Structure 1
Amino acid sequence: MGSEMQVVPARRGRAVRLKAGQAIRIVNTHGSQVVDTWAFNADDMGEFMSMEHLHATLGSVFPVTGGALVTNRRRPILVLEEDSSPGRHDTVIAACDVHRYALLGCQGYHDNCTDNLHAALGMLGLRSGETPAPLNLWMNIPIGAEGRIEWGEPLSKPGDHVVLRAAMDCIVAMSTCPQDMIPINGANCTPTEVHYEVLG
């Protein structure tokens, strides 16, 4: 039985608990919003979805529909069950943080995915001692033949969604990336809200 659709406001984070077998459907409501996404073992926050370990498992930098997303202990934690977008999600770039925005020339505090992760976990009474590299849903980072990366605009469209099914009891955290200085959230560089629901 699914729950009601919930919102992750623009520039903010949310986290949900999933039992093994449950799933979360995340909807790119306006079509161009990047969602930094993490998953932690509900029984041990020291085990979490790991992009570095995923690369070795997949032999690719792009997650594949039907494929498992693995932890730093190389165990499946989520399965990418559905993906209505072209399937370009980034697994290379770290979550943005205050240091990233300072290097881009931002004066003063800037909302960021690192702080959003920890705030979202805090809403559930949880904490993590680190910020794992996220699965950046819908973030388009083309990688050239020589290994150079580009900051592309998302290839997704309004209403595109992914379904992530829990392979173990876990915490899934999401941040609507606040990046408004380069066009990863679309050409107009305007972060927007996304929606999600928990599926039985």
Structure 2
Amino acid sequence: MNAIAAPAAADDNGLETGLNATLREPISADGTPVLGKTYTVPARHGRAVRVKAGQTIRIANPHGTQVCDTWIFNAEHLNEFLSFEHTRAYIDRIIPQPGDPLVTNHRRPIAELVADTSPGVHDTLMAACDLYRYRNLGVEGYHDNCADNLRLALKAIGLRTREVPQPFNLWMNIPVKPDYSVEWLPPVSKAGDYVDIKAAIDCVVVMSACPQDIIPINALNPLDVEFTVLDPAVSSHS
């Protein structure tokens, strides 16, 4: 059950504003995965996983309609992380394509998008949903949110971030129109689509199966996503 809490004053943005089962259900005590094992990120919750340099994580959309907010942190120093304000400048496009590096706030590659079976429609513009977002949408009390899923998933493996970076919003469909306004539309991915992301350094990857159920980015029905840290002895990107 969610614990309703008012946002608390803090010296940083790392304090959760409420609780859910994310905190109690890490994949392992420190986030180390079993290579080749597929894990589920339950609807409305988050998970964190350690991905070593050279390893590839496959993030899958089994239903085709679910957005997955995704963050990548330097495992040694969580104050370095995938930053899309830096990545967009580095790759000269808004949405990465296979072969593009994903760079940090220190302007160096932390990972590479190596495969994408979907139409390639993702979002790199919108902040993770948070308690304040849902209050703006008229929600009273606590609502599960991606920002807290990030905080709780890290806390579950003994880590803490001081801020909530811009996520890689996988499969989120936010077209920019000619007048520079945007729309909030359901994903165009299909069931079973996945992306493969290869780590350039030792990383912690955090995923949130976005709980947004008020606007139609998840077709108004949040569902689970899956991830696998591929075993290089048996995996391929074909």
Q: C-alpha displacement at 1:78, in angstroms?
A: 1.2
Distance 1:40 1:69 in 2: 11
Q: Deviations over 1:93-147 (max 9, x none)?
A: 0000000000001111000000000000011100000000000000000001221
Detail structure 1 runs of 4+ shifted over 6 Å in the superposition.
none
- Whether 1:169 aligns to 2:202 is yes
Alignment partner, residue 169 of structure 2: 136
Point out where structure 2 has 5 or more consecutive residues left out of the alignment: 1-33, 232-238
Q: C-alpha displacement at 1:3, in angstroms?
A: 2.2
Q: Deviations over 1:79-100 (max 9, x none)?
A: 1111000001100000000000
One-letter identity of the residue aligned with 1:80 = L
Q: C-alpha displacement at 1:55, in angstroms?
A: 1.0
Distance 1:152 1:55 in 2: 22
- Whether 1:70 aligns to 2:103 is yes
Alignment partner, residue 92 of structure 2: 59
One-letter identity of the residue aligned with 2:67 = V
Of 45, 69, 76, 2:78 maps to: 45
Distance 2:124 2:111 in 1: 15
Q: Secondary structure at the match of 1:27?
A: strand
One-letter identity of the residue aligned with 1:127 = R
Distance 2:151 2:193 in 1: 26
Alignment partner, residue 222 of structure 2: 191
Distance 1:88 1:195 in 2: 18
Q: 1:58-137 alignment to 2 at 5 Å?
A: 58-137=91-170
One-letter identity of the residue aligned with 2:83 = S
State, as a whole percentage, how many aligned pairs show the same letter.
56
Point out where structure 1 has 5 or more consecutive residues left out of the alignment: none
Of 180, 183, 190, 1:147 maps to: 180
- TM-score, normalised to structure 2, is 0.82
Greater Rg by CA:
2
Task: With a CA cutoff of 8 Å and minimum separation of 6, indicate the structure with the bigger relative contact order.
Answer: 1
One-letter identity of the residue aligned with 1:83 = D
> What's the Cα RMSD here?
1.0
Distance 2:192 2:217 in 1: 18
More strand as a share of residues: 1
Q: Secondary structure at the match of 1:45?
A: coil
Distance 1:49 1:103 in 2: 27
Q: Secondary structure at the match of 1:64?
A: coil
Q: How many pairs were matched up?
A: 198
